[in-house]
Amino acid sequence: MEAENKVKQQSSMESQEDNVLNEQALTLQDLKQMDLENPEYYFDRELSLLAFNWRVLQQALDPTIPLLERIRFIFICSNNMDEFFEVRVAGLRHRIARGDTKPSLNGQSPEEILRRIHSKAHDLIDEQYRIFNDELLPKLAEEKINFVPASQWSDQQYKWLKKYFKQQVMPVISPISLDLAHPFPRLVNKSLHFLLHLHGNDAFGRDLEYAVLHMPRSLPRIIELPEKVDATEEHNFVYLSSIISEFAEDLFPGMEITGCYQFRLTRDSDLLVEDSGTEDLASVLKRELQSRHFGAAVRLEVESSCPNKLVNFLLQKCNLTVNDLYKVNGPVNLNRLISLPDIVERPELKFTGFTPKIPQDIQLGHPVLDILKEKDILLHHPYQSFLPVIDFVKQAANDPEVLAIKQTLYRTGSDSPIVEALIDAAHSGKEVTAVVELRARFDEADNIELAQKLQEAGVLVVYGVVGYKTHAKMALVVRREKKRLFRYVHLGTGNYHARNARLYTDYSLLTSNPEMCEDVHKLFQQLTGMGKVYKLNQLWNAPFTLHKKLIKAIETETQHSLNGNKAKIVIKVNSLTDPAMIQELYRASIAGVKIDLIVRGICCLRPGIKGISDNIKVCSIIGRFLEHSRVYYFYNDGAEDVYASSADWMERNLYYRVEACFPILDANAKKQVIEDLNMMTRDKVQSWYLNQNANYKLRKSVNQQKVHDLLLKKLAL
């Protein structure tokens, strides 16, 4: 009855909205007063994230993708699912445990969402192993890349592997028998383990039934057999799990092993650090990181041949239910096989290499700051090189006229040339400030080490603002020129990570625009000092102005449409979850604004609702590169305003993080971004289109090239 009433209410609302439109009396105020909180208008964020992982998995079935790259998508999906359970499922379980019954945007309770996750996640993981076993392994075998089961080992292979086990494996593992003196051990998060079923008495006369083997991460999960053993030109690999199962009896002399089964436990890995009252965030994080490996269990993976008796034993010891059990037909930690494409030197089975282009008006080694006096530089990574950004910091570090460098660091990598440049700058006596975000999820330990390294070099390290992650990507250089001080800045949509700049799509803007430089200077003052909110000239920033400015920009576009003028919005983000932004887009759609949303991952907006969102199209581009750039386009009566940003349209980005959004002012740069967006919205090869039933459909076109390939041809060498 309740569902029927909702449908009637929605129909009535749509009818009223249609009447208003037909009467041509709709105003912006009318739109603001509309009730757009109907749960039927929204998708759940957790289920939307699962749908993204399904799209990633489908790349493994794409015959146009080289074979070793297809198998890489299997491993990426596996890694994504690990994080999904560690953070999203763990978060839901926390909510349920504390009695939080607040429904999600689509009206479902945490318990309902968790039930649906279990169903869909089981289907996804089953499909993942089906693709791995039935689609990819046979194709690898056709290319003479084999995973050899123990039943097919030759005598020579058997002897080599037994020697490998005794020399490389046995010395570093410790079997743990389970008895009163050895209770069930604390299992490390996501580590490979084996449960052994034993029979017989040991040297002390104990009649043991179970033992556990923990596999250290230092042991490779796949071992390639050397040529001298195979005497072939083939790549023959053996799983570590096969070696353990075959030679486990050597660890228990005199005992009979009646079963050896691999399993893996996934634990809650989100760090719950209270900001208030925390005097030393680094010390608190260090303590929390020690416990990350032993959070509450959220998932148990067991090989499919494991008997129910042993499965139930593991579930009971891990305090899990059958819903949390995933029986898998293959290695329980597929993502640890990700080294395979790098081990096998077969270029024809991988993506064709490319050289990121350096724009013609930039020559590496020439002073970047001098170029910026004349014009802005816009770079689209990975098609265009990240080297000019590195050069920007390196040259500033070595320039005797540069007095100060300020930079935010979120994820940089352990061997970052930018970090080394900041250290060189500090050693040369420059004032160097680094705002290091310690709480970048799963990079906390690396960032603590980075902060210590910078501090030891004399860099002023700031951890940002209590309660707000610093997610903005910006660098500021202050230089003395003819007794005057000039400023230069870099603003980006992605992190200062040179390797990721070859894998992620992002925009970089280098400029000496005085107003933008002044804005960046104020943002750094806000991060490192105290005082009221600064009024900015060009930049929008979270948590202060970004949300308001975005709402205003959408309202302006809405008003243009109400006035009978052309109105268009194109938004490219990684995730869209904020209800306020979704409702504003619905209002614009009702007013007739044409809206294209390029949302790689989570999308809680439901397109195609009659009278509500039928002017909104949503697509997700999945392919060779991880779509990471955030771009906002507003037609604005022909002015065509374009912004790039570090912020997704999620509550955490708009209200609880420090973010920077910057306009693309240079005419040529703006033209480039608009052309890129147009290319993406026209794509019908890599784009998955979302319908109102929460399903994504790939619209394959035989007459088009993939958008990533088109951009490579356009921008790279």
Distance (Å, rounded) from C-alpha 278 to C-alpha 271? Answer: 14
3-state secondary structure 555-618: HHHHHHHHCCCCCEEEEEECCECCHHHHHHHHHHHHCCCEEEEEECCCECECCCCCCCCCCEEE
Q: Could you give phi then psi for residue 685, rounded to 5 degrees?
A: -120, -45
Q: Which of 644, 619, 657, 671 is nearest to 381 (CA)?
A: 644
The burial class, CB within 10 Å (0-12 / 13-18 / 19+), for 358 is: middle
Q: Are 699 and 683 in contact (CB under 8 A)?
A: no
> The tokens of 619 are what?
């697509």
Burial letters 548-567, b for 16+ CB under 10 A, else e: ebbeebbbbbbbbbbeeeeb
| DSSP code of residue 366 | S
Alpha-carbon gap, residue 345 to 362, rounded angstroms: 34
Q: Pick the closest to residue 377 from 357, 364, 361 (CA basis).
A: 361
Q: How many CB atoms lie within 10 A of CB 394?
A: 20
466 vs 278: CA distance, rounded Å: 9
Q: Dihedral sign for Cα 77, 78, 79, 82, please.
A: positive
Dig out the tokens for 429 from the structure.
């006596």
Distance, in Å, from the CA atom of 605 to the CA atom of 583, rounded to the nearest integer, reads 9
- For residues 54 and 122, the answer to whether their CB atoms sit within 8 Å is no
Structural tokens at position 120: 């869909």
Please give the Cα distance from 2 to 5 (Å, whole number).
5
- Integer-rounded Cα Rg, in Å, for the chain is 28
**What DSSP state is assigned to residue 674?**
H
The number of residues making up the chain comes to: 717
d(CA 563, CA 57): 45
Closest CA to 409 of 388, 423, 396: 423
Q: Cβ distance 58 to 594 under 8 Å?
A: no
Helix/strand/coil (H/E/C) assignment for every residue in 673-684 = HHHHHHHHHHCC
CA–CA dist 388, 380 (Å, integer): 12
Beta bridge partners of 465: 468
Residue 482's φ and ψ, nearest 5 degrees, are 50, 50
Question: Which is it for strands 473-481 and 540-542: parallel, antiparallel or unpaired?
Answer: unpaired
Edge-first strand listing for the sheet containing 297-303: 176-177, 210-214, 192-199, 256-267, 297-303, 325-328
Task: Give catalytic status of residue 182 as yes or no.
Answer: no
Rounded Cα gap, residues 390 and 424, in angstroms: 13
CA distance 211 to 196: 5
Q: Which of 471, 490, 497, 547 is catalytic?
A: 471
Which residues are catalytic, by number? Answer: 471
